Amino acid sequence: METQGNYNQPYKSEKKLVAGILGILLGAFAIHKFYLGYTKTGVIQLILGLVTCGGAGIVGLIEGIIYLTKSDEEFDQTYVQNQKEWF
């Protein structure tokens, strides 16, 4: 397992797979947002999911697919380093 810096964190490609699967399976609950550390965005998406009775889960599904189709480097650059919270 590769690590980045001296924080001993797993390489972000592992986060990509888990975040993508969580987005697809549990998108209405914004679990993938919390997993990536986007607490404020996660709360917003969770509230939208509850208000729409899960209808906002389509956002999580789309994001999960986007996460999985990006290369490891692209995912790391976009969602970990630049902290892009939506799509």
For the stretch 37-49, pLDDT in tens is 999 999 999 999 8
Residues 37 and 47: their CA atoms lie apart, in Å, by: 17
Q: Has residue 16 been placed in a domain? A: no
pTM: 0.78
How high is the pLDDT of residue 12? 52
Does a structural domain hold residue 18?
no
- Asked if residue 82 is part of any domain, the answer here is yes
Residue 66 lies in a domain: yes
Identify whether 76 is part of a domain.
yes
**Which residues lie closer than 8 Å to 71 by C-beta, 6 or more apart?**
none
Please report whether residue 5 resides in a domain: no
* Range(s) of the domain holding residue 34: 29-87
The count of structural domains within the chain is 1
Asked if the structure places residue 33 within a domain, the reply is: yes
Instruction: Give me the phi and psi of 76, to 5 degrees please.
Output: -60, -45
φ/ψ of 2, rounded to 5, equals -80, 150
